[in-house]
């Protein structure tokens, strides 16, 4: 949800700025680029969570509860 809102806000702000300096406001963000960024973010988040998740999965529940 953040990416579409960020693109919309960025387009609005760029158009506002470009009109003030008399430039052509033609922001272009392709759907393919947005899809690749979203996919890359999901992949990176899963890779970052894999090692701690694997470590937590191998820990016995009794050992974790005994320390509390």
pLDDT of residue 49: 94
Tell the residue number behind the tokens 């894999």, with chain if given: 50
Whether 23 and 50 have beta carbons less than 8 Å apart is answered as no
Structural domain boundaries in the chain: 2-66
pLDDT of residue 47: 94
pLDDT tens sequence across 37-50: 889 999 999 999 99
pLDDT < 70 stretches in the chain: 67-68
pLDDT of residue 67: 67
pLDDT of residue 38: 86
Whether 15 and 25 have beta carbons less than 8 Å apart is answered as yes
pLDDT of residue 58: 85
pTM of the model: 0.56
């Amino acid at each position: 949800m953040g990416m579409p809102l960020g693109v919309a806000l960025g387009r609005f702000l760029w158009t506002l700025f470009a009109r003030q300096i008399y430039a052509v406001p033609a922001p272009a963000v392709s759907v393919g680029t947005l899809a690749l960024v979203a996919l890359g973010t999901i992949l990176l988040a899963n890779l970052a969570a894999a090692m701690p998740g694997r470590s937590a999965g191998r820990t016995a529940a009794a050992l974790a509860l005994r320390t509390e």
